[in-house]
Structure 1
Amino acid sequence: MSEDTRPRLFCFHHAGAGVSSFARWQRIFGARREVVPVLLPGRDIRAAEPRITDPDRLMAELLRSVGPLLDRPYALYGHSLGALVAHALARTIDRLGLRRPDRVVLGAALPPHLPSSLLPAPFPQGHELLCRLVAQGQLPRQALEEGEDGVWHRRALPVIRDDLKLAAALRAVGGEPLEVPVLAVAGREDAVAPARQIEQWRTYTTAGFALRTVEGGHFFVRAPRLPRLLREELDRPAYASPAAVRPGSSSV
């Protein structure tokens, strides 16, 4: 049997989620690339493990799991919280002198210097946080209707709360621009992270930048348009300059 030499695509999920959004991606990429969803602790099959809200601890955890898989060309994709994780991991990899990704793709996330409506100060707790998430369309209205003894309060809300704390901590770290090409992806109907603001990721790289838009709101990761876009985009030469593409152009 021949050795698998396909480039890898490591995928990092949004807050409160697992890796189910990436379940069909391998079928779409086919033989072009190996899709590697990365599940953070404290959910799904890792539910018994403590969740991580500290960036340094998270990077150490990811280097243990992902580090041995950097032996082939690879790219990183992160969605919302996952974009902040992917960005921080790329910076950590560079600082340690490990093999750099060919591309870092950041979806549905504002760059750290812009305020996010998902992370207000002071940070809401309990029912107030749930109400805010429902109002922003991040959770279904059912989450409010079922009451404080319901599954959303008992199971989903603690995970989301810790993930948002992690997101705030990752944004606070910021960091120097990457020496890796960056692709930012925005949903055309995303009011949380609109394209005109996502475009500002261009200041976080010295190696080339592009912006693409896709149909959908904040969770466009769940539709097949995104992996189809990435399948084509990751096969193209890296971007020649950090000049951003205007929102709405070169989109699918």
Structure 2
Amino acid sequence: MSTHSPFRRFLPRPRARTRLYCFPHAGGAASTFHSWAHLFPETVELVAVQYPGRHDRYLDPMPDSIPELAEEIVRSIEMPLDRPTAFFGHSMGAMVAFEAARRLQPRFPSPLAGLFVSACKAPAERTPRGLSFDEDELRAYLRELGGEGAQKLEENEELWQLAFPVISGDLRVVEKYEYTAGAPLTCPLIAMGGNRDLSVAPADLELWKNYAIRGAEVHVVDGGHFYFDESLPRVIGILTTLLAQLSLQRV
């Protein structure tokens, strides 16, 4: 069992009205959200999730499945929550955040103010891509997804060799994920994505409505799979507005 906390606060705001836990994509780290923390207003404290096997958790083994990873994260969250709290997960992070949200809601209402799932198909709609985890295949896959991170890996062979074990390890748990049906979430659910994402279409986001008792609110912005690379200030603006609304609903 690791003694490292999975949470990183780049800009602590103990008096913030709301708290947003952010779960990164496959191969990603808490640092993905470093710039986000400084773009949010004082009313929002961002807490980035650091998965095992990277950066200061390099020696911590990755759990064998998405649910196990979600369990580890939930065990580290102090309960009861001291303020309106939401989860935001991107791609693989949306899967982890969804499974974590399920584990936080054994009662009604959910302790979560909201769940944001980004660039991810609904759980029962996911099918394995059949990846062989060959290096060339994974390079092509990341190239297809696009984003600033993929471009940096394309340009830096040393960085790729460091990142490859983490990316392949994360994608292995994504590939083996099997949704187990259960009660719908009782917290608000917001699905977000880019209008040029070749892997998750706006119609895919609509299917998240089946996973929460109030359905799902969908927001589509201009961009690909990593749409926030192109329009981060706009995305932060949307999240800030929605978090303020969710916070008021909790009062």
Task: Give TM class, smaller chain.
Answer: 0.7 to 0.9
How far residue 56 of structure 1 moved from its aligned partner, in angstroms, is 4.1
**Inter-CA distance 208–236: structure 2 relative to 1 (3 Å threshold):** farther
Deviation per CA, 1:168-223: give whole Å up to 9, x if none: 34443454321111000011111111111111101111124210111211112332
Which runs of structure 1 show a deviation greater than 4 angstroms over 4 or more consecutive aligned residues? 96-99
Listed as ranges, the gaps of 5+ residues in structure 2 are 1-12
Counterpart contact for 1:188–1:217, Cα < 8 Å: yes
Q: How does 1:181-220 map to 2 (within 5 A)?
A: 181-220=188-227
> What amino acid maps onto 1:186 in structure 2?
G
Q: CA separation of 1:69/1:51 partners in 2, compared to 1, >3 Å: closer, same or farther?
A: farther
Unaligned runs of 5+ in 1: 241-252
Alignment of 1:120 with 2:129, yes or no, is yes
Once the two structures are superposed, the pairs formed by residues 5-154 of structure 1 within 5 Å of their partners are: 6-68=17-79, 70-95=81-106, 100-115=111-126, 119-121=128-130, 123-138=131-146, 139-140=150-151, 143=154, 146=157, 150-152=158-160, 154=161
TM-score after normalising by structure 2 = 0.80
1:163 to 138, 153, 170: 170
CA distance in structure 1 between the aligned counterparts of 2:35 and 2:214, rounded to whole angstroms: 30
* 1:111-138: CA deviation from partner (whole Å, max 9, x where unpaired): 122245xx413x3122253243145144
Q: Distance in 1 between matches of 2:152 and 2:43?
A: 40
Task: Determine if contact 1:131/1:144 at 8 Å carries over to the other structure.
Answer: no
RMSD across aligned positions (CA)? 2.9
Aligned residue type for 2:39? I
Q: 1:131-173: CA deviations, max 9, x gaps? A: 4314514434964995xxx541x32122111212222344434
Equivalent residue for 1:224, pick from 222, 229, 233: 233
Number of aligned positions between the proteins: 231
State the TM-score, normalizing by the size of structure 1.
Answer: 0.80
Higher mean alpha-carbon deviation, 202-211 vs 127-136, is at 127-136
Q: CA offset at residue 68 of structure 1? A: 4.5
> Aligned with 2:78: secondary structure?
helix
Residue-by-residue CA offset, 1:61-114 (whole Å, 9 max, x unaligned): 102322347232101100001101111001011137895211111000011222
Task: Between 29-38 and 17-26, report the one with greater CA deviation.
Answer: 17-26
Contact 1:130 1:144 in 2 (8 A): no
Give the fraction of aligned pairs with identical amino acids, expressed as a percent. Answer: 30
Tell me the SS of whatever aligns to 1:34: strand
